[in-house]
Amino acid sequence: MQWDISMLEVHQTRTRRYMRAQSTFRCSTADCKHPNLRQQQSNPHPAVYVGKAASLSFLQLVRDTVSQYIGPSQFSHNVKSEDMLETETPHGTPPTLESSLDSYQLLQYYQTYSSATSGFIYVLSSAEAMEVLDALIEPSTHPDRTEMAVAGMIIAIGAQASKRTVSTEQAERYFFSRAQRSAFEGMLENPSLTLIRLFLLMSFYMLGACRRNAAFMYLGVAVRAAVALGLHLTELADAVPSPEQHQRARVWMSVYNLDLLVSSILGRPAATAALRSETEDGPIRYALLEGHMSIGLVASYGVSRILEEIISSMYSKDGASAELADSLLAKLKQWSDELPGPLVEPPNLDFDEPAARTHIINNLHVACIYHFAVITVTRPFLVSVLGVRLARLHNDSTDGTSSDLLHEDAAHSNLATACIDSALYMIQTCSEVHRSGLMLGNMCILKAFVFAAALVLGFSMFSRKEAEPSHEQAYGEALEILCVLSEQSAQAGHYYEILSCLGNAVAEQRRRLVQHSRQTKGRYVSKLFSLDDRRPSVEVQEGLDTPLLNGVSAIAPEAGISDPWAGIQRLGFMDSLEMDAALSGLDGMQLPVWDSFPFVGEAFQLQGRVGDVT
């Protein structure tokens, strides 16, 4: 009894730390020992800050809890998976393409680009984008360098999100390298809408390339340039012509959306956070809803504003409360109720058409942002409730006082259920799109959403003695999605590895609970004798006691069936060479995953995180 209550107290302490955000801390040196900092896997890079709302903070709490109940495991003590995965810049970028792109290839890359960015950013209308891309085929004598760089980024993102081939990989590296060089050749001296578009697209590309720190920094350039042009100010929009108003509104909402999503995934302060009181609904009022892409952009902007409020209030120093969570969920509910029909319905098109894919992925991205926001606001209460359930699950005592100490708060339980349901719905929606064959080769933000949702489901599964079929199925679907995306994304492979280890931890937890239950039931009586429960050790002893003829057991195995214990029975009569030969078949045996090996790493304190695996 005392053991279980102390376990609960430890978990409650962790929960309080998790629900109270810590102050922002940054360090630029790799040898800084602050607990909020974590070294990247790329050793030459310095440690980087990842804050409280990031999935890494939640992941570490789950690791600590798993270790508390089942001891060290591959999930809880895998130092490699705690690092922030950042890939290196590829070298040997081709100076030219082996073959020039024709108009058909450009159109294919643009369509893939539109699908990849839909629901997140929409910086160029279809007409504007095609006009920019035409300059790649028929360049003028004095082309605008910034616009040419934007066109190159459209191709680079389209190639990156396509199924990988030699030609797509070459196009991706070539056009990004050229655009990146252009971006830093004097362009930063004069802010413009085109410059903002360029750095925003470069940031999006870096997310797909598993270089989130570079993406975060490029976003900072885009935000400051947008502020320099006053895109966040409604009164300035009234002073420009209508076409430019639409462009400014689209660009600002795109900057805001990506800034909020990247910042929430990494748990870092958003660059646009201080501008919230000045923006209000101005960009929405000036947005021209001329198509499905712009409708999705406006919807994402609305839910991103709520997400910003969630992070700033739920993860503040004051901590979270059920009343605050209810009010935020009410805002999300109102937002979802007001969504236009095209965002919640499949298109009336053949799914093989590019427009249908863009429509569906647009809706998928908007839905995932919504579910991610629900998870973010309810996750602290999930931690609290599952801690109580785990302590109750491991409570051996029949003393009536335990029920009072292991009592769930009703409001917290409802919020925890909402967290699990939202994670379940997100994965189910992603799985439907995956099974339809509409997933892109690289989906840079979706993989982080799937990981966050699967981590919630995995923690819930760990707190249950029996399997919940819908949760088990969704967890497997999340692994399948990440496995497919890992073909082109090292980050998705990193997520897959972590979730696979968590799945093994869930299986071990249930095995121990079943074993403990059997031991508890057999406290008063046990089975003394059975022919069906013969243990190998007994059979081995019988074999050793049996008279042998020429070193072979007098009882031969059945025809066609080898005797697995024959070699062990003869060990007492073998010389060293024979013994080596007999044991050679055991080389393939592996150590149990759950052996308690010594680990030298110190326990990680949850006071903000560095290095997000999301």
DSSP secondary structure, 231-276, as one string: TT-HHHHTTS-HHHHHHHHHHHHHHHHHHHHHHHHHT---TTGGGH
The conformation of residue 571, written as its DSSP 8-state character, comes to G
What pLDDT, on a 0 to 100 scale, did the predictor assign at position 545? 42
* pLDDT exceeds 70 at position 340: yes
The tokens for 402 are: 């335990």
How far apart are alpha carbons 517 and 237 in whole angstroms? 68
Task: Average the pLDDT over each of 26-35, 212-221, 238-247, 554-563 and give the range with the smallest value.
Answer: 26-35
Who wins on pLDDT, 389 or 90?
389
CA distances from 366 to 111, 249, 339, 448, 496 (A): 18, 18, 10, 14, 23
Mean pLDDT along residues 10-23: 48
Number of helical H runs and strand E runs in the chain: 24, 4
Q: Rounded to an integer, what distance in angstroms lies between the CA atom of residue 271 and that of residue 257? A: 11
Residue 577 pLDDT > 60: no
| Cα angle: 170, vertex 175, 176; to 5 degrees | 100
Strongest mean pLDDT among 94-103, 159-168, 289-298, 516-525: 159-168
Q: Which of 98-102, 176-180, 460-464, 465-469 has the lowest mean pLDDT?
A: 98-102
Which range among 281-285, 448-452, 479-483, 535-539 shows the weakest confidence by mean pLDDT?
535-539
Q: For residues 513 and 560, what is the distance between their CA atoms, to the nearest angstrom?
A: 39
Q: Which of 478, 452, 490, 609 is nearest to 207 (CA)?
A: 490
What pLDDT shows up at residue 189?
Answer: 79
- Least confident residue range of 89-98, 319-328, 472-481: 89-98
Coil/strand/helix, residue 10: helix
In the chain, domain spans: 2-84+374-518, 103-345
Write out pLDDT tens, residues 538-570: 443 444 343 333 433 333 444 443 443 344 343
Question: Is the Cβ–Cβ distance between 452 and 614 less than 8 Å?
Answer: yes
In terms of average pLDDT, the best of 38-47, 172-181, 246-255, 415-424 is 415-424
**398 pLDDT tier (thresholds 50, 70, 90):** very low
**Over residues 511-538, mean pLDDT:** 71
Amino acid letter, residue 307: L
Q: Is 552 helix (H, G, I), strand (E, B) or coil?
A: strand
> How much of the chain exceeds pLDDT 90, in percent?
46
pLDDT over 70 at 572, yes or no: no
The predicted structure's pLDDT at residue 400: 43
User: According to the model, what pLDDT value does residue 295 have?
Assistant: 93
Instruction: Please give the pLDDT value at position 36.
Output: 41
Contact yes or no for 420/457 (Cβ under 8 A): yes
Distances, alpha carbon 131 to alpha carbons 125, 136, 179, in Å: 10, 10, 17
> pLDDT tens across 199-235, in order?
999 999 999 999 998 999 999 999 999 999 988 886 6
- For residue 529, the model assigns a pLDDT of 81
Helices (H), 407-535: 410-435, 446-462, 469-485, 490-521
- CB neighbour list of residue 509: distance below 8 Å, 6 or more residues apart: 66, 69, 70, 462
Measured at the CA of 184, the angle between CA 181 and CA 186, to 5 degrees, comes to: 125
Tokens of 582: 């007999």
- Is the pLDDT at 247 greater than 50? The verdict is yes
Number of other CB atoms surrounding residue 26 within 10 Å: 13
Report the chain's mean pLDDT, rounded to a whole number. 77
The answer to whether 430 touches 480, Cβ cutoff 8 Å, is no
**pLDDT value of position 52:** 72
Strand partners, 552: 549
pLDDT value at residue 584: 43
CA angle, corner 443, sides to 442 and 446, nearest 5? 155
DSSP codes, 272-291: TGGGHHHHTTHHHHH----S
Q: How far apart are the first and last CA of the chain?
A: 38
Phi-psi region of 339 (alpha: psi -120 to 50; beta: other; left: phi over 0): beta
How far apart (Å, rounded) are the C-alpha atoms in residues 307 and 320? 15
